[in-house]
Structure 1
Amino acid sequence: MRSPHQIVGDHYAASARGDVAAMMAEVASDVQWTEMAGFPCAGTHVGPDQVVEQVFRVLGRDWEDYRFELETLLDAGPHVVGVGRYRGRHRATGKMLDARVAHVWEVRGGLVRRFEQFTDTLLGAQAMA
C-alpha cells in the first residue's frame, strides 16, 4: 500500500497538471474537506463530488491561473502537511492573490479522510474586493 505521503504528493502533482480525476482518485467517499471561514469556498464539504463542485469548479470559474505552489511536504505518519502559496488573479476584480498556506491531510486505509486549509483569509478577501 502506498504511504500517506505518496498519496498526498500524487494529489499535488495531479493538481499541478489540472487533472481533477487524478486529484480525487484516492479521496474517501465521505471525506471531510474544510476550507477556512472567510476564504473562497469556505466550509466543510463532504464527499468528492462536493469538493469538486464547491471548491475546484468555483475556484476555476472565479480565478484566473489559480494554483497552489507546493514548497514543503511534511510526513507525519497518517497526517501529511503541505506548505506553500496560493496564487492567482480574481476574474471580477483583476486583483492578484499571493498567500501563504498550510494544508493538513489525514490519510487512512489508502484514502484521504480529512483535509483542512490554514491561510490568511484577509488576503483572499482583499483580492476579491
Structure 2
Amino acid sequence: MATNREIIEAHYAASARGDLDGMLADFADDMSWTEMAGFPYAGTYVGLDEIREQVFGRLGADWDGFDATPEQVIDGGDGNVVTLGRYTGTYRATGKSMTVRFAHFWQVRDGRIVRFEQVTDSHLVRQAMQ
C-alpha cells in the first residue's frame, strides 16, 4: 500500500501528465475540496463530479498551461500531508501569465484522499485575470 505522501505525489504526477482521471483516482467519493476565499474559484466542492467540473474544468477552460508544481511534500502524520509549490499559467482572456506560491493541505484516510484545502496569494492570480 502506498504511503500518504506517495498518494499525494501521484496526484501531482498525474496533473503533470494532464491525466485528470489519474488526478482523481485516489479521491474518496465524498472528497471535500476547498479553494480559499478571494481565489477566482473560491468555495468548497464536494464529490468527484463537482470537483471535476467546478475546479479542474474551469481551470482547464480559463488557463493555458495551468500547472501546480509541488516543490516540497511533507507528511505530517495522522493522514495530514502539506505540499508547498507554485502555480503557473497564462489566463486565456488576457494573455497574462502568473507564477504564484501555494500551500496545499491534504487529508488521507485509509488510502483515500478525503479533504483538500488551498492557500495562495489570490491577488497575484487575479492580476493575471485583469
Aligned residue type for 1:92 = A
RMSD: 0.8
Letter matched to residue 5 of structure 1: R
Residue pairs, 1:103-122, within 5 angstroms: 103-122=104-123
Displacement over 2 Å in runs of 4+:
none
* 2:14 matches 1:14: yes
Aligned to 2:45: 45
- The SS at the match of 1:104 is strand
Q: Normalising by the residue count of structure 2, what TM-score does the alignment of the two structures yield?
A: 0.96
What is the identity, as a one-letter code, of the residue corresponding to 1:18? G
Percent identity of equivalent pairs = 53
**Residue in structure 1 matched with residue 129 of structure 2 by the alignment:** 128
- Tell me how far apart the structure 2 counterparts of residues 6 and 71 of structure 1 sit (CA, whole Å): 14
Alignment TM-score, normalising by the size of structure 1: 0.97
CA contact (8 A) 1:14 1:20 kept: yes
| Counterpart residue number, 2:55 | 55
Per the alignment, residue 30 of structure 2 pairs with 30
Quick one: distance in 1 between partners of 2:40 and 2:24? 20
Question: Where does structure 1 lack aligned partners over 5 or more consecutive residues?
Answer: none
Q: Contact 1:31–1:112 at 8 Å: present in 2 too?
A: yes
In the aligned structure 1, how far is the partner of 2:104 from the partner of 2:7? 14
Q: Does the CA contact (< 8 Å) of 1:40 and 1:59 recur in 2?
A: no
Tell me how far 1:2 sits from its aligned partner: 1.9
**Distance between the aligned counterparts of 1:36 and 1:93, measured in 2?**
23
Q: Which runs of 5+ in 2 are unaligned?
A: none
